[in-house]
Structure 1
């Protein structure tokens, strides 16, 4: 779950900016955006009650503006196309950075945004696959005012879907700005792309313990909106507007969002390939 790359407060966005190098041989093109139905599985839940909820329909717009108790600080609907090898480029450099060149959590994959990340037809696309024996992955990081992190508590919403690619996973997380795992960690959505959507809250002071662990029983192959609400009173996970997990345990130090998309516990099948697609991202601070 934890990043295997330096993510400390001393690192600047410029130091980790996604490269604009020429793309590698393309392989299969990005798919046409399909906002079809999900496949639900039997939920197995620890610490909360989960419900499999219907995916929202096609064309759901990005939310614009504040919510009760929350001030919107960033929303990105990915309206400007960027080819593979060009992200973030001029269109997105003020709002996005990410990991580059390091191994992922399992050690099998390499963060290679210049060969993985593009924007097409209003969707941020992560094209996961193996090339020359190396699984290629990515971990985009949204910025606010050109910097990441720097605040405590917030609301983080991402509308996304994934192909059921064996050997890969999402581990999208709130990670401490200090890079000190003992301050806690919040993961949602996390799970194998060919499995179901999970969520975890790692207990501050004892992060090897889960204050919350939930399996929603929902596949990520349909379009879903995953939201983390992080408050002093606790953390809530919402999937398509329904609360699927909650705890009164809450990290109390600044954290930042990472869309950490990586190999799942080891080397994936060499022929495994597919896409994780992000329709929009919206970030809020408490008012």
Structure 2
């Protein structure tokens, strides 16, 4: 789902200091990834989602540390496992200022939520925590952005891995995406993981030059209420989505302009229930450039 805006295009918005693959070419609904004509399903998670607002799952189950070092064909350029505590209202703070920024003050894609990192984002118990909820009639959301060498912007081709989980909060979603540095949707868009917090994990690749069409649309059937590692591999020859190391979708269609990662966490198509509240937790983030 493409952003409604970016910080550089909104007046007053500021920056914070089972394996299956399918290729489809289905028109998207107006304004975003939409409802594809064909989806894939696999890796179904049959566990019961946590109720909205339930206590978060343990942050770092044994043996799940952040990956360190290069991979074959990939050079690691950033890894963050959020070991330094930052209270609500303090992120990024001195500990993360050179590595993270985010949207602040703009409306989200649906227009119902507002990016308020000072009210949403904290770091505690080894996780980046996004506490989505409504305050004063306004749904509060956040979109953290990792920096490239301390600068806003990305590169052409890369590997992006995030270990995360979420409470099953109705009315909110992840729309974590690679968004063009040009801020021009026609350069393409890559979304994974995308999906309602009380639904399943989807992925989309929007066709460069015709972004209203999905070159790839996949529904993994997996819920995000348990810990998962979502990975995007973006190469000149195509884009692949992996969930917990298993390929869940691929397409030979590949954007060829610089893009950057946004952990866009927002309302899902409209105003959520006023009492809906819960957490999206990020254990670690690891970014790689193509060698």
> RMSD across aligned C-alpha pairs, in angstroms?
2.1
| Pairing 1:46–2:50 present | no
| Matching residue within 149, 153, 170 for 1:149 | 153
| Matching residue within 147, 155, 169 for 1:165 | 169
Which residue matches 1:58?
A: 61
Which residue matches 1:41?
A: none
Q: Structure 2-normalised TM-score?
A: 0.85
Whether contact under 8 Å (1:7, 1:178) holds in the other structure is: no
Structure 2: runs of 5 or more not aligned: 18-35, 48-59
Q: CA offset at residue 2 of structure 1?
A: 1.1
Which residue matches 2:16?
A: 17
Structure 1 residues 259 and 135, CA gap change in structure 2 (3 angstroms):
same
Structure 1 residues 15 and 269, CA gap change in structure 2 (3 angstroms):
closer
Residues 14-59 of structure 1 show CA distances to partners (whole Å, capped at 9, x for unaligned) of 95115xxxxxxxxxxxxxxxxxxxxxxxxx993656333799x823
Q: CA offset at residue 148 of structure 1?
A: 2.7
Residue 2 of structure 1 aligns to a residue whose secondary structure is coil
Whether contact under 8 Å (1:188, 1:199) holds in the other structure is: yes
Where do residues 84-95 of structure 1 align in structure 2 (5 Å cutoff)?
84-95=88-99
Q: CA offset at residue 188 of structure 1?
A: 0.1
Separation (CA, whole Å) in 1 of partners of 2:220 and 2:174? 14
Structure 1: runs of 5 or more not aligned: 19-43
Number of residue pairs matched? 258
Which residue matches 2:184?
A: 180
Which residue matches 1:206?
A: 210
Separation (CA, whole Å) in 1 of partners of 2:6 and 2:277? 27
Which residue matches 1:3?
A: 3
Separation (CA, whole Å) in 1 of partners of 2:241 and 2:46? 16
Which residue matches 1:82?
A: 86
